[in-house]
Structure 1
């Protein structure tokens, strides 16, 4: 599952914030101009190029994620959860994780349920777009959104804390735990340097002032694009059109047998849906066997994903389903429908991702 380089960073980061990241072949674009940069924290920040941010044209679907780049059944989200677990989980069918324990460094909280954690794009996708990724190819944006080559680019953290961060930069948001501020700005600067992204004036000022109160540790970054210039990168091989969406708005599953739904609208995809479409579902529930799940296509056709199973008494649904949706059009409103087939417990849909 290609995780040792992430684990090594997590162990070292709390000591020195200077671990060297190894670039590996997990969906990361690696052009010939990649280089290793080693600088003190304050110099790394000072060298970040300043430019005006441009949000025009942004759409989260332009950053295809989460992918299973190494084909082991676990997509990027799960690779990060497995790598960052302080107690290793058991990896089951469909990459379901049980028995693990995780530490969210943003707020200093431990969790035992994967659904309580978001995998944060350290520099949010919208912020990356504003800072240079709008000039990239789809393949490069996919590489960025699934970067397992440097543990500073993705982090498993408390879901509501990540949601409060949204697409904010350090001038607008910092973690609740003040003791990790120096680590946070160091990782932000490393991620922006790795991907050749720019900073705006307020962002640069905030990073500079906060770094003045931090130990001026040496940071090593293996660049993927640009080396800190934020310019248009050398194109890599193209990827299929991104027909992906995520809905992270919690939906309560009532204990009444009533059906609830959550919708993802796919736009800009003028092709049939895939024969190997994936639906990643995260449901919090005491008895997952009680939960019945179906996917409804834009034309109203329903596809069963999960049936009632009275023998399954384990908790939660953390599964990626694969379905042949080639008879459907990719674009349109897709709905995930869920109901609780047995009385006694309620739950909620935490998040789901559709890639058609």
Structure 2
């Protein structure tokens, strides 16, 4: 049947919040739902979604899930990645935070964050140092490599966060300065540490960082990572994703809300992550409402949507009613360069039957980055 377009009246009541990385355990997304059934209503309540989703996969699976794309160096400038910064204002910038965290003998910290009495071991070559000047802080995935594989589409704030990532200890490493310089911007197909016993660690950390930041790999890099991972213990790797796809690539998941009476609030939440392909086809997530024998509310129907995506403007969001009528909650916009969708929309759903399968459709309308639908809640 022909679908009738009805523009929903949308009001934003929440905004995207920034991620401030620290070299501390990152926040893990709360996925558990609390179900409350009382007085003729059922509501699924979830905590406010965090901006990172935890991914836990065997190493070889995580390598296999890395997206392949051609690298693009055009426009790269190291200065586009602002570093080193003093994120917590304690007088020690990111370089020194890493040195303090990775010291095998803890240094004394003096005025201006001068370090003395410390000892460090560079895992790339096994060398031990007592002078911080002999060490560089290596971006495990080099800045130029990050640019080539996705960071060129990021905001300045996102590139700064990547360059100073203290939220995952695998992202930055204190290593011998000339070894770091010999590595340059090369990937594992072109360079590996001289200590062969740490190759599995290096491959695991490279894969974790690329997954954390939603970065792609080229075909040669993917082949080399796959070959190296085949010789490693297939241990589970856990990563908090900042940018990019969540832990599943499944297009649709279904949640069900079943009120005990026909007049109560009818609310359902689907918190299953759904990958949104780069400039690809729309993906959907479904909430099935049952036991709500009435029409949907005309003025109080709401749709809370959380999408993790580098450019919010790329994303369009539609709500499909059970009869396939659709409502535009959010259109794509070339002028909106902020990150993420974290918004509650109001929609006039009068005339729609509350019971049935409601679908949220999300599409990335521009190329250059990927994201995922984190969670959504429908109240009809």
Q: TM-score range by the shorter chain?
A: 0.5 to 0.7
Deviation at 1:23, TM superposition (A): 4.6
* Per-residue deviation, residues 242-279 of structure 1 (Å, max 9, x unmatched): xxxxxxxxxxxxxxxxxxxxxxxxxxxxxxxxxxxxxx
Q: Does 1:69 align with 2:87?
A: yes
Contact 1:82-1:88 within 8 A present in 2 as well? yes
Contact 2:27-2:50 within 8 A present in 1 as well? no
Deviation at 1:73, TM superposition (A): 0.2
* Per-residue deviation, residues 196-220 of structure 1 (Å, max 9, x unmatched): 0000000000000011111001000
SS at match of 1:183: helix
Contact 2:23-2:168 within 8 A present in 1 as well? no
Match for residue 128 of structure 2 among 90, 110, 134: 110
Q: What is the 5 A alignment of 1:213-224?
A: 213-224=231-242
Partner of 1:167: 185
Partner of 1:343: none
Deviation at 1:233, TM superposition (A): 1.3
SS at match of 2:70: coil
SS at match of 1:39: strand
Taking the aligned partners of 1:125 and 1:163, their CA distance within structure 2 comes to 13
Q: Does 1:37 align with 2:55?
A: yes
Match for residue 137 of structure 2 among 89, 114, 119: 119
Partner of 2:311: 234
Q: Which runs of 5+ in 1 are unaligned?
A: 6-20, 25-30, 239-356
TM-score, with normalisation over the residues of structure 1? 0.58
* Per-residue deviation, residues 309-332 of structure 1 (Å, max 9, x unmatched): xxxxxxxxxxxxxxxxxxxxxxxx
Partner of 2:72: 54
Taking the aligned partners of 2:70 and 2:54, their CA distance within structure 1 comes to 26
Taking the aligned partners of 1:227 and 1:214, their CA distance within structure 2 comes to 25
Partner of 2:26: 22
Taking the aligned partners of 2:111 and 2:77, their CA distance within structure 1 comes to 32
Paired positions, count: 216
Contact 1:196-1:223 within 8 A present in 2 as well? yes
Deviation at 1:133, TM superposition (A): 0.2
Q: Which structure would you say has the larger Rg?
A: 2
Partner of 1:157: 175
TM-score, with normalisation over the residues of structure 2? 0.54
The 4+ residue runs of structure 1 with deviation greater than 3 A are 2-5, 228-232, 234-238
Q: Does 1:101 align with 2:178?
A: no
Q: Which runs of 5+ in 2 are unaligned?
A: 1-20, 29-48, 247-274, 279-308, 313-336, 340-380
- Alignment RMSD (CA, Å): 2.2
Shift in CA distance, 78/128, structure 1 to aligned 2, threshold 3 Å: same
* Per-residue deviation, residues 112-141 of structure 1 (Å, max 9, x unmatched): 000000000000000000000000000000
* Per-residue deviation, residues 136-165 of structure 1 (Å, max 9, x unmatched): 000000000000000000000000000000
Shift in CA distance, 4/165, structure 1 to aligned 2, threshold 3 Å: closer
